[in-house]
Amino acid sequence: MTLTEDVLAERAARIRLLLTDCDGVLTDAGVYYSAEGEALKRFSIRDGMGVERLRKLCGVDVGIMTGENSPIVARRAEKLQITHLYLGVKDKVACLRALLAEHGLQAEEIAFIGDDMNDLEVLQLVGLSACPADALPPVKAVVHYVCTLPGGHGAFREFAEWLIHGRARASQQ
């Protein structure tokens, strides 16, 4: 979706919560399994710094909304002090609507970064949307920002910095 930089900056200024998918955004979409089940996921430390910078510089909170019900994701959210954690979500639109109602937010106050088909509807409902460089083509076609970095390798951080920059630009207008 093509919008002018000024419009994107105005939208960035309204964002209060950045939601992210996990697998394919915070991870490289790979998972290691042992005989006991899911054993390892790889996360980027730089993405974690993006969470911290959003809070510190902009007062923007971060949440994770994923279709997986993973203790590893819960542990990562705990480490990053992410309290908006939605695991095992099969209907992301319904989850988004419940979140909006519960927290008194509007869809334009939400940013979302996702990479796969189950993210498409949410990406089209929120104020700002993004995807990693290696997202599926239909996802790339609907977002406001396509990162240059792939999932699990700094895409979340890139979008966070883009959002921080957009908010700074809006405050200078």
Q: Which among 107, 109, 104 has a CA at the least distance from the CA of 92?
A: 107
pLDDT of residue 144 exceeding 80: yes
Compute the average pLDDT of residues 54-81: 96
Which CATH number belongs to the domain containing residue 109 in this structure? 3.40.50.1000
pLDDT, tens digit, 9 for 90 and up, residues 85-98: 999 999 999 999 99
pLDDT of residue 1 exceeding 60: no
pLDDT, tens digit, 9 for 90 and up, residues 29-59: 988 888 887 789 999 999 999 999 999 999 9
Please give the pLDDT value at position 2.
61
Domain encompassing residue 29: 5-172
- Tell me if 113 sits within 8 A of 132, measured CB to CB: yes
What is the count of structural domains for the chain?
1
